[in-house]
Amino acid sequence: MKVREVSPLRQKTVDVMTMKGLSPVTQKHYLREIAKFDRHTGHQLDVQTDDAIRDWILMLIDGGLAPRTTNVAVAALRLFYDTVLGQPEKVAALRFRQVPDRLPRTMPQEDVEHLIQAMTDMRYRMATLVAYGSALRVSEVVSPQVPDIRRNEGLLHIRRGKGNRERMAYLPDAVLGELERYWKTTWPRPESWLFYRKTPDQPITVRSLQIAFGKARDQLGLDRGLTFHCLRHAAATHLLEGGAPQSVVQDVLGHKSPESTRTYARTTSVMFRSLDHPVGRFLAA
């Protein structure tokens, strides 16, 4: 099989991103956006003007792409022209679009239960259960290995979370019990990767887990707008509804800022229940 050569410019871009500590997923997205602009220019990136770069971003916006998507393109081109090519003046005027402040999409507890039960493959079922039980991102649930389970502490070692942050995730006792049954009954038995795809040396992928989730969701006739990430939203909301302190939920989610966790509090009425609103008094009079 012929090995595809990596161009010096692409390698330099990867090196710059690696030195900046960007995650593999972020690097992949940035390279994709740079490649799209490269094809658009006829492979003449280095001679593009600031107007041409601006017009490309405007074309993406006019094409109906969401702010988060076009912001990735802006970030990628700013890094490329500023740091890789050393032409910062060409991207100095690029600005990020404001992302709408929407409430997290969640789902009722019974829908989560039905979703997990609807998954026929035990590996994907268990991965989904762990994702909900530990409020994990999809990228975090496909990567654990068997030694990452801290049975006696009730923790799961996340070696590479969002922003390359290492953390310990909470594993409820009930989930630990299911994991023990899964480990004993799955064959070949997981030895390295906790959830493997075809063979124990191949971990399940983000895409394969998302597909399994989508099939279960569609089988149950649930809203197709529900994604795997909604399990994380649901876990946070359900914990808050159960009376968990916001600071504890923040640690469960691995949030650096309490404001990120407060977003979930706005999806439920739990934080308003203790209010003594005067309207009740004058209506009762």
Q: What is the pLDDT of residue 6?
A: 66
Q: What is the pLDDT of residue 99?
A: 84
Q: What is the pLDDT of residue 124?
A: 96
CATH of 8-90, one of 1.10.1060.10, 1.20.1600.10, 1.10.150.130, 3.30.572.10: 1.10.150.130
Tell me the per-residue pLDDT of 182-193, one tens digit each, with 9 for 90 and over. Answer: 999 998 998 899
Low-confidence ranges of the chain (pLDDT < 50): 1-3
What tokens were used for 145?
């290995």
Q: What is the pLDDT of residue 264?
A: 77
Q: What is the pLDDT of residue 148?
A: 95
Q: What is the pLDDT of residue 3?
A: 43
273 class by beta-carbon count within 10 Å (0-12 exposed, 13-18 middle, 19+ buried)? exposed
For residue 35, count other CB atoms closer than 10 A to its CB. 13
Fold adopted by 109-270:
hpI Integrase; Chain A (1.10.443)
Q: What is the pLDDT of residue 283?
A: 82
Q: What is the pLDDT of residue 2?
A: 45
Range(s) within the chain of domains with CATH label 1.10.443.10: 109-270
Q: What is the pLDDT of residue 256?
A: 84
Tell me the per-residue pLDDT of 26-38, one tens digit each, with 9 for 90 and over. Answer: 999 999 999 999 9
Q: 148 to each of 111, 173, 180, how far by Cα in Å? A: 29, 16, 14
Q: What is the pLDDT of residue 164?
A: 75
Q: What are the φ/ψ torsions at residue 170 (nearest 5 degrees)?
A: -75, 130
Q: What is the pLDDT of residue 258?
A: 86
Range(s) within the chain of domains with CATH label 1.10.150.130: 8-90
What tokens were used for 153?
């502490």
Q: What is the pLDDT of residue 4?
A: 52
DSSP the chain: -PPPPPPHHHHHHHHHHHHTT--HHHHHHHHHHHHHHHHHTTS-GGG--HHHHHHHHHHHHHTT--HHHHHHHHHHHHHIIIIISS-GGGTTT--PPPPP-PPPP---HHHHHHHHHH--SHHHHHHHHHHHHHT--HHHHSS-BGGGEETTTTEEEESS-GGG--EEEE--HHHHHHHHHHHHHSSSPPSSBSSBSSSTTSBPPHHHHHHHHHHHHHHHT--TT--TTHHHHHHHHHHHHTT--HHHHHHHHT-SSHHHHHHHHTTSSGGGTT---THHHHHH-
